[in-house]
Structure 1
Amino acid sequence: MTASSFLSSTEPQAPANLIKMGQDFGSPRVAIARAGAPLPMQAAKEATEADLMIPVFVGERDMIEAEAANLNWDISGFDLHDTTGEEEAGRKAAELCGAGKADVLMKGQLHTDVFMKAAVSRDAGLRTGRRFVHIFHISPPDGSKPILISDAAVNVEPNLETRQDAIREVSDLLIRLGTERPKLAILSATESAIPSVPSSMDGKELADWAKDAVPEADVSGPLAFDLIVSPDAVATKKLTADPVAGQADAIIVPDIVSGNALFKAFVYIGGGCAAGVVTGAKVPILLTSRADPAAARMASVALAAIKCALPK
């Protein structure tokens, strides 16, 4: 057996229920930082036509207009802010969101570090006092219950306070998505708090903290991955009394390596569709990637629209 035998050949599909939920809210104004490239323009066109967003283009005017022409898309009715280079585009897009002239900040053709530096700048006006947390919403190909993962893209080694914010943000997003009582699992390599496994000790501390701090959710930890996703493993290890084990709605990871590996396993092995959003700022932030399929980009815009929850 070769390594590639594990890879799924399933083409990711944007979950219809997530798209429909996004459409049920008012279309947010999405400031696209350096929009003049094929992928961000294609994503913007598809999401606009699906009634998920209103684009606010930021970047080199000639590049944006050329890409729109390639798509046979008349963008004359949308705002366009002419800027030069990555830094100016990132700064302008973030400032538009900070000033209330856009509802979502979206990464276009610029490096992630440049984009996030603009987003966290005090001059942008996006800081709220909460930590920025990235959340993936991953839908399985059979249309069954999705699972959320935090944080797989922004915080490298989140401390306890950052993971507490992640628990709050994930719980809030699940409630917005219609989950009556969210079930959050704190990932480790074991279900016991063992001093030699620091993430297990953190998992126990976070679960204890959440009992009073996040009363609207069930938070359990530490839990190994099998005990998070497999009811059979839960039954075998006699943890059926745990309200989260085997039926988690979300996984809070101890670091970016485990989170990133887990999300990519769900996508590349499981065939899942991963929508991603950064929370904790004044507006939702979309960290689109060149590797994101069209379905993931569409689902991410829908997730941001749900997070905004604008009246229609």
Structure 2
Amino acid sequence: MTETRLNSAADTRHTAFDALIARARASGAVPYAIVWPCEAHALAGAIEAARRGILMPVLVGNRVLMERAAQEAGLSLVSYRVVEAATPEEAVSAAIALVHEGTVYGLAKGSLHTDVLMHGVVAQESGLRTDRRMSHVFMMAVRGRAEPLFLTDSAINIAPDLTTKRHIVQNAVDLHHGLGFGTPRVAILSAVETLNPRIQGTLDAACLSKMAERGEITGAIVDGPLAMDNAVDAEAACIKGLTSPVAGRAQILVMPDLEAGNIAVKTLSFLGEARCGGLVMGARVPILLTSRADTIEARLDSAAMGAVYARFLNQKA
């Protein structure tokens, strides 16, 4: 029985996120620019995060469309600052300006397309780029596991090369620390746990493990290649004769590419009923990329991650 498993009847999906939400509320609402919340689902998520004391939303978009969306959802904008923008592109620019003014500590996607938001963020003139590639990190609370799993990258980098993967790993490690979970055990995943020259992911995994040994990746214990089973299940690791501080006990799972990551996240969410939230890392401020299909609960979970991590960055500055 792996140490991260609990009794099969236990449901720990709520523990990690409920604790995170409580921490966010205790620290006080964090100002975030909600970019183009011009549909009811996006507006409702932002207002609920405000009602819970997690975020202090600044609504950036077309006032007429936002008021129409609020009316449809039975909500009011009276308590919230609205920054006018005629188009989604203008809303992105206005939200970025709020970051530079120090008015907000992060950005959250409203009802605009992800490509529009990220195009504005990654532009050289945005001033939000760092020397790190941006990547997305999901935190997932899985039934029967005592601690959350972090999965990356499932949303931004389609076929990352070795350098990008190093940034992806470091981004996830930084988030793990910033949310207060300590030094993580990181599994670099592939289809197999042995080097195979025909499977590029195994070669990248071995290189990343060596980089961590040499201090090119910091703050984590990194091992790979590992297959999914022996990364998260101690019995599988034992059966395959793996001696590793990570095998069977991984806290961060690094996917070989976006397709694998996206499938893993959706499998855990829809079949495993995992609870999840996520952040874009690697920019000067955290970015919440919610989906139109996300529930209010999922939006709150991401908001709590964003609030706690933004506080962490602000205290470090």
TM-score, length of structure 1 as denominator length = 0.90
The alignment partner of 1:251 has SS state of strand
Tell me the CA shift for residue 73 of structure 1. Answer: 4.1
Is the alpha carbon distance of 1:215 and 1:37 closer, same or farther for their aligned partners in structure 2, counting shifts above 3 Å?
closer
**CA-to-partner distance for each residue in 1:95-140, whole Å, 9 max, x for gaps?**
3223322111111111111111111122322112211110000111
Structure 1 CA distance for aligned equivalents of residues 201 and 142 of structure 2: 27
The alignment partner of 2:167 has SS state of helix
Q: Does the 8 Å CA contact 2:32/2:55 hold for their aligned counterparts?
A: yes
In structure 2, the partner of 1:252 is 254
What CA RMSD, in Å, does the superposition of the two structures yield over aligned residues?
A: 1.9
Structure 1 CA distance for aligned equivalents of residues 296 and 206 of structure 2: 39
Greater shift in the superposed pair: 18-27 or 175-184: 18-27
Greater shift in the superposed pair: 38-47 or 87-96: 87-96
Tell me the CA shift for residue 72 of structure 1. Answer: 4.8
Is 1:42 aligned with 2:81?
no
Structure 1 CA distance for aligned equivalents of residues 170 and 28 of structure 2: 24
Greater shift in the superposed pair: 135-144 or 265-274: 135-144
Counterpart selection for 1:235 from 212, 215, 238: 238
Q: Does the 8 Å CA contact 2:189/2:254 hold for their aligned counterparts?
A: yes
In structure 1, the partner of 2:84 is 82
Structure 1 CA distance for aligned equivalents of residues 254 and 32 of structure 2: 28
The alignment partner of 1:102 has SS state of coil
Number of matched residues?
300
In structure 2, the partner of 1:217 is 220
Give the unaligned 5+ runs of structure 1. Answer: 1-9
In structure 2, the partner of 1:3 is none
The alignment partner of 2:272 has SS state of coil
In structure 2, the partner of 1:170 is 172
The alignment partner of 1:213 has SS state of coil
In structure 2, the partner of 1:133 is 135
Identity of aligned residues (%): 34
Structure 2 CA distance for aligned equivalents of residues 53 and 221 of structure 1: 37
Tell me the CA shift for residue 143 of structure 1. Answer: 6.7
Give the unaligned 5+ runs of structure 2. Answer: 1-10
Tell me the CA shift for residue 233 of structure 1. Answer: 0.2
Structure 2 CA distance for aligned equivalents of residues 47 and 231 of structure 1: 38
In structure 2, the partner of 1:5 is none
In the alignment, residue 43 of structure 1 is paired with which amino acid?
G
The alignment partner of 2:292 has SS state of coil
In structure 2, the partner of 1:108 is 110
Is the alpha carbon distance of 1:81 and 1:215 closer, same or farther for their aligned partners in structure 2, counting shifts above 3 Å?
closer
Q: Does the 8 Å CA contact 1:134/1:152 hold for their aligned counterparts?
A: yes
The alignment partner of 1:232 has SS state of helix
The alignment partner of 2:219 has SS state of coil
In structure 2, the partner of 1:7 is none
In structure 2, the partner of 1:263 is 265
In structure 2, the partner of 1:15 is 17
